[in-house]
Amino acid sequence: MSKTTTFNILIFMLLCTVNGFAQSYEPTRQSLSNYEVPEWYKDAKIGLFYHWGPGSVPGLHFNKDVLAFCRQKGVYKDSGTAKRNPPGQWGANMYPKPGLPDNEQNSNYLLHKRFFGDPKEFGYKELIPLLTGAKFDPKKIVNLVEQAGIKYIVPMAVHHDGFAMWDSKVIDEFNAMKMGPKRNTTKEIIDEARLRGMKVGVSTHVARHSWYYSKTPGYDVSDPRYVQLYGEGSKNGLPTPEAIQKWEDTMEELVDTFHPDYIFVDGGTADIYTNEKSYVMNDAFRRIVSNYYNTSLEAGVEPVLTFKRESLWKEEAVPDYEGGFLSDIAPYTWQTHFNNVGWFYRPGQNANPSHINFRKMIDAISKNGNVLLNIALRPDGSIQEEEVQFYKDLGAWTSMVGEGIYGSRPWLVYGEFTNALKPKILTSNFRGKVYEDPEAVPMGAIKLNKADIRYTRSKDNKSVYATILAWPKEPVTLTSFSKDGVGKSLEIKNITLLGSDEIINWKHKEEGIVIKAPSKPVFSDQNWPVTFKLNIR
């Protein structure tokens, strides 16, 4: 080995150490447990991904009645019309089960026949040309996201259906550069976001691709000519070696192509263990993660990867809970993700009022969590009006209360309940877990009331932020600062209201700190949470 080569290796090892990461990672639990979540992610708090692909196209025909039929609710409940199916998972449910009459088929199959014709003639691949992307505008999307106060954006790379939304070399036939939009959509979003200095990621759901579709004989889904789109299938309940290798190759290509700051990995990683008690997918997952970490270190990227359903241990990457919330502060970083009007474009669903989402967000952040929001793009790439309005609301809210969110850390307790009820602990998780971690904080089902309080703190411990989940028309008592509360020893210098210049009247009593809100609300919508800043002496 030459002196120059030796010197370069030493410099690389030094840089890795300075950055706070292990020098290299092996695909083992022991090695990956040396991972440390970077500060940028802990500070960012709010990210966004979007769902967009051929599975968006059926939304062109959706309304409330279609949703009711798909879910077998309303007039269809208990009618024996069809089998209930998720409205978003079109490709998985649009092919018939052999030998069953229509009223025993899944609802998506019957809807597909109504919208597009028999899937024997109009298969999933025929949806791709209808994904036009004619109004897909990365500048407009990123601008909306940036103004909303979102710190990392995660464009769709590949969903369960296996259709790549970038110019893939692994999925070299069925990708958005060659079909549908005929644009490198993932790259366009990443490039636009990086121009603005935003952190970027890729959203991947392809771990379950090989067994996602029902391989019904006589349909295109079982035709070997289309195996790249429809997957290799499984044998004896396990994915084929070719399917696992394709997953690894796809993920490696995304890492090498985009050097993402963040990767979202959906829960298909846990399916095989749940069904077959095999760790074959988890072994492959660790190879994927170690490659991502090592490649990122070489590229100067501080990587973050989230996983679902305990398919790794929380020390190896960041655990994510779909629509879930923890029952208490976690001593580790975690994430939840949820949607506002569905995952994929499905008109007929009611959007949550903005304040409901804001309350869920601050609850997660107070417990050491990040939040990944979703946009359901139309087939033409545009954004639904109700979603545009929500992200405008989000920008208005974070512009006022952001100091208590971005760069914050959990305080001694996450909050207080006005109804004095403890959160209900959930005893099960969606579709099962791979590992049962006795140190993991359990999920909790919590009803958030408008007078509840959530706490965060500044990293320097000089400020505590108390967020009231709606405008307090009556004086608020922070009981965590009572004579027996966790904050009893803290000496408060003054209290301000984020977004307001008015002087705040407050008193520190035995029962806690009593705050009287000013006469003028911060927001016109008084359901929006507001944040008081307690400055510590």
pLDDT digits (tens, 9 = 90+) for 453-464: 999 999 999 999
Per the listing, tokens 């869920």 go with 360
Mean pLDDT of the chain: 92
Percent of the chain whose predicted confidence (pLDDT) is above 90: 85
Under 8 Å between Cβ of 174 and 70:
no
Q: Helix, strand, coil proportions of the chain in percent (round to 5)?
A: 35, 20, 45
Please give the pLDDT value at position 5: 38
Please give the pLDDT value at position 10: 42
SS3 letters for 154-221?
A: ECEEECCCCCECCCCCCCCCCECCCCCCCCCHHHHHHHHHHHCCCEEEEEECHHHHHHCCCCCCCCHH
Identify which of 362, 447, 348 has the alpha carbon closest to the alpha carbon of residue 403.
362
Hey, is 144 helix, strand or coil?
Answer: helix
Please give the pLDDT value at position 4: 44
**CA dihedral sign of residues 158, 163, 166, 170:** positive
307 strand-pairing partners:
319
Please give the pLDDT value at position 432: 81
Residue 146 structure tokens: 């940036």
**Strand 476-478 vs strand 512-516: parallel, antiparallel, or unpaired?**
antiparallel
Gap between the Cα atoms of 7 and 22, Å rounded = 19
Gap between the Cα atoms of 210 and 225, Å rounded = 15
Q: What Cα–Cα distance (Å) separates residue 30 from each residue in 26, 27, 84, 209, 277?
A: 8, 9, 42, 28, 21
Spatial neighbors of 355 by CB under 8 A, at least 6 apart, are 469, 470, 525, 527, 528, 529
Q: What Cα–Cα distance (Å) separates residue 80 from each residue in 35, 72, 104?
A: 51, 9, 8
Ranges of residues in the chain whose predicted pLDDT is under 70: 1-23, 419-431, 445
Please give the pLDDT value at position 394: 98
Taking residue 418's Cβ as centre, other Cβ atoms within 10 Å add up to: 14
pLDDT digits (tens, 9 = 90+) for 182-240: 999 999 999 999 999 999 999 999 999 999 999 999 999 999 999 999 999 888 889 99
Dihedral pair phi/psi, residue 422, rounded to 5°: -80, 150
Task: Please give the single-letter amino acid code of residue 383.
Answer: I
Identify which of 90, 348, 387, 356 has the alpha carbon closest to the alpha carbon of residue 213.
90
Please give the pLDDT value at position 77: 85
CA 169 to the chain's CA centroid: 26
Give all strands (DSSP E) within 81-164, no chain letters.
Answer: 152-154, 156-158
Task: Please give the single-letter amino acid code of residue 259.
Answer: H
483 Rama sector, left if φ>0, alpha if ψ -120 to 50, beta otherwise: alpha
Strand arrangement of the beta sheet that strand 463-468 belongs to:
415-416, 453-457, 463-468, 530-536, 492-497
Residue 128 structure tokens: 């791709």
Gap between the Cα atoms of 277 and 274, Å rounded = 6
336 strand-pairing partners:
321, 371
